[in-house]
Amino acid sequence: MNNTQHPVYWDLLEYKNWRLYLAAEESGLCFVGSLNGAFEELSAWAAARRPNEPLLQDRERLRPYVQEVTQYLSGETTVWDLPVAYRGTPFQQAVWEALREIPYGVTRTYSEIAQQIGRPAAVRAVGAAIGANPVMLYIPCHRVIGKDGALTGFRGGLEMKSLLLELERR
């Protein structure tokens, strides 16, 4: 049995009207919170997904992620260079990898993602996997919209989804 604890490090990004909690483990970013989300969002995620791993604030360790997300929010970058570390079922991971292939400024529908992963009848399951995405922005679930073009469910809220899509249209 492995009793080694692997800490999850976190920090708060504050840039203009954006306030996001970020968390990373040794291998990469593992959580991006909602727009103006409370610390409780991060602690609830950690309790559910990393129950035996201490949650430690570490500005220095998170600095590269804070800088990269700030560059994205300011329009200075359109690509993510830093590593991401996420855990999920094989189906969730397939969906999340498909999301990572959506180019900056482009949207896809839930049914297009289901087709892409070879599961055309699994549109609702795709939606559930997208809703479980722990690393918003880096896994760009905000780029997935309804078949009719409507903005639909987003863990960060529809206001955040709209702001991100608007940012990427500029």
The model carries a pTM of 0.90
pLDDT bracket for residue 1 (50, 70, 90): very low
Is residue 9 a contact partner of residue 46, using CB atoms and an 8 Å limit?
A: no
Map residue 37 onto helix, strand or coil.
Answer: coil
Residues noted as catalytic: 141
**56-108 pLDDT, tens digit each:** 999 999 999 999 999 999 999 999 999 999 889 999 999 999 999 999 999 99
H helices of the chain, in order, are 39-49, 59-73, 90-100, 110-116, 123-131, 158-169
**22-36 pLDDT, tens digit each:** 999 999 999 999 988
User: What domains does the chain contain, in order, with CATH numbers?
Assistant: 8-73 (3.30.160), 90-169 (1.10.10.10)
pLDDT at residue number 109: 95
Map residue 30 onto helix, strand or coil.
Answer: strand
